[in-house]
Amino acid sequence: MKNLVVGAGLSGSVIANLLASRLNENVLVIDTKNHVAGNCYDYRDNNGIMVHKYGSHIFHTNNEKVWSFVRKFADFNQYMHRVFAIIDGNETTIPFNFNTLYAVFPPVFAKRLEKKLLEQFEYNQKIPILELQKYDDTDLKFLANYIYEKVFLHYTTKQWGLKPDEFDSAVTARVPVYLSKDDRYFQDKYQGIPLGGYTKLVENILNHPNIELRLNMDFKDVEEHFDRVFYTGAIDEYFDYKFGALPYRSARFTFEEYNREYYQHNSVVNYPCNYDFTRIHEYKYYLNDKSEKTVIAKEYPEAFEVGKNERFYPVPSDENITLYNRYLEEAKNLENVYFLGRLGDYRYYNMDKSIQRAIELFDTLVV
């Protein structure tokens, strides 16, 4: 074997495919899980519903190269994601836009806010709420504070397990009001769900005669020698936490089955201010699965603990980035060992960014 790829998620499978297909090199791909596709793993349940085990995954990108790559291995539907939220007891759209404005406020007040926003900004812009705070206008300040509390504050407290004064101000600065009636959660050119599911997509990417796959296998149990190692696991774990553990957030999903066609009016409904869970996923919307029953998952954020749950989100802070950079410096002492993916790069990547990262890394190898 010439190459070892640790992790059979998107980053690992893409780099393995490129090494095998374009360089005609042998690749061993290992994963500690009993399945491929990492946290975008999905499966069909007994009701014929495609369930996303680790929460909803929506593919979206503006990157032509990434879109061209995934389309070689799967056909996608034209699903465009929308997110609803319960705000003051009203089910409405997120991000906060003009439709949300009229759903949560009396019509006269909503009209006044809309008029003031369009007097200051162009239609179809996303305006950070901190920008609204700069204006000497009581209504605009009220709107900024309302969005901060009802949409951002309590949801983020649950999501990250932080107190308001512990939030990075840069995170708050990005909370927008969208001056549009576009209810889509993403505005990317290409959006959709692979018709066979994400697991099948990754299986197809790994389906190459030069690729060997071994599941239920830990990196430390590999005995062969390799010319190159591509590591998509946690970089701090690779170095046995010698500088300390990098913090992550995780999530627990409780699955419930109901004897009715649908549980809610949308695939994802957020609960910013109510309950301990952050959102409810209903999976049959994604591929328009037909069943007399439905399956939902309630998502409960929690701290990551080794051996207990999965690493989901790197925790953004200057302190954590400083710690990650220490590991990055340590990695420079290694020869032909490459780190990538959410865990290897300690970055929150959307799926297309994970694929893009693998493609760009491969391109540096063949220059």
Distance of CA 148 to the CA centre of its chain: 22
pLDDT on residue 351: 98
- The tokens for 118 are 């369009």
Per the structure, the complete domain to which residue 148 belongs is given by 83-178
Q: Give the bridge partners for 253, in sequence order.
A: 299
Question: Looking at the structure, do residues 196 and 161 belong to the same domain, yes or no?
Answer: no
Q: What is the pLDDT of residues 16-26, one digit of tens each?
A: 999 999 999 99
Least confident of 9-23, 163-177, 346-360: 163-177
Distance of CA 197 to the CA centre of its chain: 16
Residue 93 has pLDDT above 80, yes or no: yes
pLDDT band with cut points at 50, 70 and 90 for residue 169: low
For the chain, the average pLDDT equals 95
pLDDT band with cut points at 50, 70 and 90 for residue 165: confident
Question: Looking at the structure, do residues 41 and 172 belong to the same domain, yes or no?
Answer: no
CA distance 272 to 137: 26
Residue 30 has pLDDT above 70, yes or no: yes
Percent of the chain clearing pLDDT 70 (strictly above)? 98
Question: Looking at the structure, do residues 227 and 353 belong to the same domain, yes or no?
Answer: yes
Q: What is the pLDDT of residues 33-42, one digit of tens each?
A: 999 999 999 9
C-alpha distances (whole Å) from 294 to each of 50, 57, 264, 285, 314 are 11, 18, 10, 10, 32
- Please, which residues have CB within 8 angstroms of residue 338's CB and are 6 or more apart in sequence? 228, 229, 230, 231, 361
C-alpha distances (whole Å) from 32 to each of 26, 133, 209 are 20, 48, 22
Q: Give the bridge partners for 241, in sequence order.
A: none
CA distance 270 to 112: 27
Q: What is the pLDDT of residues 211-242, one digit of tens each?
A: 999 999 999 999 899 999 999 999 999 999 99
292: left (phi over 0), alpha (psi -120 to 50) or beta: alpha
Tell me the average pLDDT across 299-310: 94
Residue 259: inside a domain: no
CATH, residue 17: 3.40.50.720
Q: What is the pLDDT of residues 226-283, one digit of tens each?
A: 999 999 999 999 999 999 999 999 999 999 999 999 999 999 999 999 999 999 999 9
Q: Which of 157, 178, 199 is the last residue of a domain?
A: 178
What's the pTM?
A: 0.95
Q: Is 230:340 a contact under the CB 8 Å cutoff?
A: yes
Residue 97: inside a domain: yes
Residue 267: inside a domain: no
Residue 34: inside a domain: yes
Residue 206: inside a domain: yes
When divided into structural domains, the chain yields a total of 2
Question: Looking at the structure, do residues 211 and 325 belong to the same domain, yes or no?
Answer: yes
